[in-house]
Amino acid sequence: MTEREIIAEFVDVHRHYTMGDNIVRALNGVSMQVARGDYLTIMGRSGSGKSTMLNLLGCLDRPTSGEYRVGNRDVSRLSDDALSDVRGREIGFIFQSFNLIPQLTVLENLEVPLFYQNRVGAESRKKAEYLADRVGLGQRLEHKPLELSGGQQQRVAIARALMNDPLFLLADEATGNLDSNTEAEILDLFDDLRSDGVTIVMVTHNPAVAERADRTLWLKDGEVEKLIENTRQTATVAAGDAAGEQA
């Protein structure tokens, strides 16, 4: 575990919100690391700082103090444009409410991340077809999101998150809007991705989801309460690791 490359790292990260005279310490000195191939879940009570942490991990927000490194680069003080670049190149987002763009087809939705890097063309189309196939939606490229079921929409969203070959996936309650059967299918898909070496960081309320991960980080009042290694998954971690190095 220790030899694996660190691809995301918090060093004493604070995120404080000023509300009039009050200061809300949404994150209050969090340090943690994400290694390549990790499957990490973040848990904690409502208001413990999970969303704040995910926004920072996703470069949608900047820490009040502390350092956030993506790859080997400190991104905690970057400009808005530079953060957009980091999001576009290094991060894949998956949201609870899928967040597909309704007026675009599945194919066009998949191409959005590459569009902002001027990489739309024959190649992006091929990649979109491959990934749609990978998530089991190869025949739906010309459909509009609202013509798909929730589970199918989330599959599209997962494919979209993979379009830019991100360093890691960030998922916020990715199965929160799905029924339990569909949830299981999506979690299976995450397991597949993980065994292909994809790094996943996921916020969840569901302990059953957390059980599938390698580790669970518990937040409490903006601080790390505990970090639990999920021993039951160790064998799979090794396997995923090997696959990750091949990729």
Partner 1 sequence: MIQGSWRIVRLGLKSLMLHKLRSSLTTAGILFGVASVIAMLAVGEGAKIEALERFRDMGVTNLIARSKKPAESLSNSQQSAWMPIGYGLQFEEADLIAASLPDATVIRIREIKKNMQRGENFRSSIVVGTEADFLEVANMRVREGRWLSNVDNERLANVCVLGATLSRLLFPLENPMGQTILVGDDDRYRVVGVLAEQGRTAGAGSTPYDECMFIPINTSNRRFGVILTNRSGGSFSRERVELHEVKVKMPDSTTVPAGAKILRDLVERQHKDKNDVLVTVPLELLKQEEESKRMFNIVLAVIASISLLVGGIGIMNVMLATVTERTREIGIRRALGAKRKHIIQQFLVESGVLSALGGVVGVALGIVLPFLITIWFDQKTIILPHHVGLAFGISAAVGVVFGIYPAWRAANMDPVDALRHE
Ligand X SMILES: Nc1ncnc2c1ncn2[C@@H]1O[C@H](COP(=O)(O)OP(=O)(O)O)[C@@H](O)[C@H]1O
> What does DSSP say about strands 65-70 and 6-19: parallel, antiparallel, or unpaired?
antiparallel
Binding-site member from 4, 11, 33, 51 for Mg ion (CB under 5 A): 51
Handedness of CA 141, 146, 147, 152 (dihedral sign): positive
Cβ density class 189-220: b for 16+ within 10 Å, e for less: bbbebbbebbbbbbbbebeebbebbbbbbbbe
Total of residues contacting partner 1 (CB under 8 A): 28
Residue 23, H or E segment: strand 22-35
Closest approach of ligand X to the CB of residue 135, in Å: 27
Closest approach of ligand X to the CB of residue 76, in Å: 17
Residue 10, H or E segment: strand 6-19
Binding-site member from 80, 146, 231, 235 for partner 1 (CB under 8 A): 80
How far apart, in Å, are the Cα atoms of 50 and each of 44, 153, 206? Answer: 7, 24, 14
> What does DSSP say about strands 91-94 and 168-172: parallel, antiparallel, or unpaired?
parallel
Q: Which is nearer to ligand X, 16 or 69 (CB)?
A: 16
**Which region, judged by CB under 5 A, interacts with Mg ion, from 47-55, 130-138, 146-154, 158-166?**
47-55
Closest approach of ligand X to the CB of residue 71, in Å: 25
What is the rounded CA–CA span in Å between residue 54 and residue 170?
7
96 near Mg ion, rule: CB under 5 A = no
Total of residues contacting ligand X (CB under 6 A): 12
**Which region, judged by CB under 5 A, interacts with Mg ion, from 48-56, 86-94, 133-141, 236-244?**
48-56
**Which region, judged by CB under 8 A, interacts with partner 1, from 102-110, 123-131, 194-202, 227-235?**
102-110
From residue 3 to residue 32, the character string flagging contacts with ligand X as x (rule: CB under 6 A) and all else as - is --------------x-x----x-x------
**Which region, judged by CB under 5 A, interacts with Mg ion, from 49-57, 95-103, 109-117, 182-190?**
49-57
The contacts of residue 141 (CB under 8 Å, 6+ apart) are: 105, 106, 107, 110, 128, 129, 132
49 near ligand X, rule: CB under 6 A = yes
Binding-site member from 95, 136, 206, 223 for partner 1 (CB under 8 A): 95
Asked whether the beta carbons of 197 and 243 are under 8 A apart, the reply is yes
The contacts of residue 2 (CB under 8 Å, 6+ apart) are: none
**Interface with ligand X (CB under 6 A):** 17, 19, 24, 26, 44, 46-52
